[in-house]
Amino acid sequence: MKAAIFRGVNQPLTIEEVEIDRPLPREVVVRTAATGVCHSDLHFIEGSYPAAIPGILGHEPAGIVEEVGSQVTYLKPGDHVVGCLSVFCGTCEQCLTGHPYRCSQTPRRHPSDPPRLRFPDGTPIGQVSNLSAYAEKMLVHENALVKIDPSIPLDVAALVGCGVTTGLGAVFHTAKVTPGSTVAVFGVGGVGLAAVQGARLAGARRIIAVDLDPHKLETAKQLGATDLVDAAEGDPVTEIHQLTGGGVDFAFEAIGLPRTAEQAFLSTGRGGVATIIGMIPVGAVVTIPGSLLLTERKLQGSGMGSNRFRVDVPRYLELYQQGRLKLDEMITRRIRLDEINSAFDALRSHQGVRSVVVFD
């Protein structure tokens, strides 16, 4: 099969032939139908986060089950599925206390087992994020997959594998936005637009979108933002305080920069909560005024939207089917696998919202 190979930091991905192993008892082979190009993979390419080299990136997929291991009972060939990187074991303390997204024993192959992915000469290939979706097929643990309604277009369903689940979950599960509250979202790319929609669905009365890109801000308005703040034209914190008369109840940072994380915290009012969704680079430090903690402002992180993806994904897709969650509007363009590097160029230049790789 063909896959896009990550061979080094700041190097373009290369399309190469790779081989996939047969599934072990609890593993599943999925024919990849579509996968979103998420900014998180750009972090790996640029070296902000470590990833296996050589490896296959991609973690926002949807596809069709082709083969299942002997002990798999949840899925069968022909099922339509969405893949999620927060693979859970179901038996550790985190899983058993309702936090599968924080699983401490993520299922992986034993070192003595053959690699899931390899080059034709037998050289192993790293499976990044336990999925490696930039490939025509995936071999994953069954707990990386959720079955979905086959009537849902798979290119649309793919978005829920990461960005949408992360943004909505940060609103619903991590921050628990309340009806009638005020919300600010810093960065309205794929994850940020999901947070905007989550705030709308949660009943926030005012949703302030903050970005440097006028086109993304306009999309945010179409998807539920009540106010737009162009951060290129002034201090967004000052403008948010002016708009709300003292700061928002909930702020979300969906970029992954220390500066915008600090701005999100500073944009909250007394008792407000700032939730950091973006992947802040390893080693970077976020600095906040300690005195503001006396006003019961809070700064917290969100791990992929605190998801329970086998519960959340079908619910989010049902909202899509009802017309209440807008997903088609978040897809900027559909591309082939051999155009993958152009999608990362678009991310670097802040063009569009989401590119989706569609396989034949």
- Active-site residues: which are they? 38, 40, 43, 59, 162
Contact 337, 357 (CB under 8 A): yes
Q: Are strands 182-186 and 80-83 parallel, antiparallel or unpaired?
A: unpaired
Q: What is the DSSP track for 35-85?
A: EE--HHHHHHHHTSS---SSEE----EEEEEEEE-TT--S--TT-EEEE-S
- Long-range CB pairs of 256-261, under 8 A, 24+ apart, other chains included: 256/39, 256/43, 256/280, 256/281, 258/284, 258/285, 258/286, 258/287, 260/186, 260/187, 261/286, 261/299
In single-letter form, the type of residue at position 176 comes to K
C-alpha 40/C-alpha 4 separation (Å) is 16
Q: How many residues does the chain have?
A: 360
How far apart, in whole angstroms, are the C-alpha atoms of residue 300 and residue 298?
6
